[in-house]
Amino acid sequence: MTKKLLAEFIGTFWLVLGGCGSAVLAAGVADVGIGWLGVALAFGLTVMTMAFAVGHISGGHFNPAVSLGLMIAGRFDAKDLIPYWVAQVVGAIAASVVLYIIVSGGAGFTGVGSFASNGYGEASPQGYGLISALVIEVVMTAMFLIIILGATSAGAPVGFAPIAIGLGLTLIHLVTIPVTNTSVNPARSTGVALFADGPALAQLWLFWVAPLAGAAIGALIWKVLSSED
């Protein structure tokens, strides 16, 4: 279990450092910035690379919603849920600390701004409201769980699951960055919210409730679709 929790810590650390780091450090650079497309790809790459690197140790969840969905689908032991959640959230916070230290060393630093945090209303990149944020986070997390469960099922091509899951997360970001800055992962939302300026902490509840609800829905849909016992 210690190795599994360490793998989840490292995987979530990399997801937040690579994904949120790309948004904070590289997305808005004039002329050479990577933009939303680059951020979406960065998040997908973090999950894909860590799924290959440590997925065989812990299952490669890196996300409390994924752990819940896998538990509901019968792929994960309920007694391990809370320890996994703790490792994931601590990994996200550790990555946010590292990112904060890097950002605060920039020339003319006056604050971190939104710090790649998730939000709705005034905190949404394009001003989408609470209902829009709730719906898109629930639906996209449900689809993410279907992708994960399908790609790792017995009938799926062997060895390709991390690629499908990474590309799935990339696609999710391409759709949802304008709405919520994309969560589908409560740990990712929590880590950066602790340091962000603005309403990130006050709105954090949605980025726990919606992904967890979406994960449960996705797992239940997969159980209907799947012939697995």
Fold (CATH) for 2-224? Glycerol uptake facilitator protein (1.20.1080)
Q: How far apart are CA 121 and CA 111, in angstroms?
A: 21
pLDDT tens digits, 46-105: 999 999 999 999 999 999 999 999 999 999 999 999 999 999 999 999 999 999 999 999
Please report the pLDDT score of residue 227 as a whole number. 67
pLDDT tens digits, 60-70: 999 999 999 99
Where exactly are the structural domains of the chain? 2-224
Q: Which two tokens stand for residue 154?
A: 């017995």
Angle ∠(116,9,112) on CA atoms, nearest 5: 20
- Asked if the model's pLDDT at residue 200 lies above 90, the reply is yes
Mean pLDDT of 192-197: 96
The pLDDT > 90 percentage for the chain reads: 90
The pLDDT > 70 percentage for the chain reads: 99
* pTM, rounded to two decimals: 0.94
- Closest by Cα among 9, 20, 25 to 189: 20
pLDDT tens digits, 150-159: 999 988 888 8
How confident is the prediction for the chain on average, in pLDDT? 95
Please report the pLDDT score of residue 155 as a whole number. 86
- Asked if the model's pLDDT at residue 229 lies above 60, the reply is no
Q: How far apart are CA 35 and CA 28, in angstroms?
A: 6
Q: Exposure of 96 by Cβ count < 10 A (0-12 exposed, 13-18 middle, 19+ buried)?
A: buried
Please report the pLDDT score of residue 226 as a whole number. 87
Which distant-in-sequence residues (6+ apart) come within 8 Å of 101 by Cβ? none
